Amino acid sequence: MRTVGQILKEEREKKLFTLDEIEKATKIRKELLEALEAGQYAKLPPPTFVQGFIRNYGRFLKLDPEKLLAIFRREFSEGKHPPRILETFSNPVDKKRFKLTPSRALGGVVLTLIIIFFVYLWFEYRFLVGGPFLEVREPVNQFNTSSPTVLVTGRTDPEAKLSINNQEIGVDPSGKFSQEIKLADDINTIEIAAVSKSGNVTKVERTVFFKQK
**How many Å apart are CA 126 and CA 132, to the nearest integer?**
10
**How many Å apart are CA 55 and CA 59, to the nearest integer?**
6
List, in sequence order, every residue forming a beta bridge with 208; answer none if it has no partner: 143, 188
- Give percent of the chain with pLDDT exceeding 70: 85
Q: Which residue from 46, 68, 44 is spatially nearest to 57, judged by alpha carbons?
A: 68
Residues with pLDDT less than 50, the chain: 78-79, 82-87, 89-90
CATH number of the domain residue 9 falls in: 1.10.260.40
CATH number of the domain residue 199 falls in: 2.60.40.10
> Which structural domain, as residue segments, surrounds residue 118?
105-129
Position 115 in a domain:
yes
**Could you tell me if 94 and 41 are in contact, meaning their C-beta atoms sit under 8 angstroms apart?**
no
Residues 47-72 pLDDT 10s: 888 888 989 988 999 999 898 888 88
Q: Are residues 148 and 161 in the same domain?
A: yes
Residues 185-194 pLDDT 10s: 789 999 999 9
**How many Å apart are CA 193 and CA 94, to the nearest integer?**
63
Name, in order, each residue with C-beta under 8 angstroms of 59's C-beta and a sequence gap of 6 or more.
Answer: 65
Give the pTM.
0.41
**Could you tell me if 134 and 156 are in contact, meaning their C-beta atoms sit under 8 angstroms apart?**
yes
Q: Residue 79's pLDDT is what?
A: 46
Strands of 149-156's sheet in order across: 134-138, 149-156, 176-182
Position 186 in a domain:
yes
* Structural domain total, the chain: 3
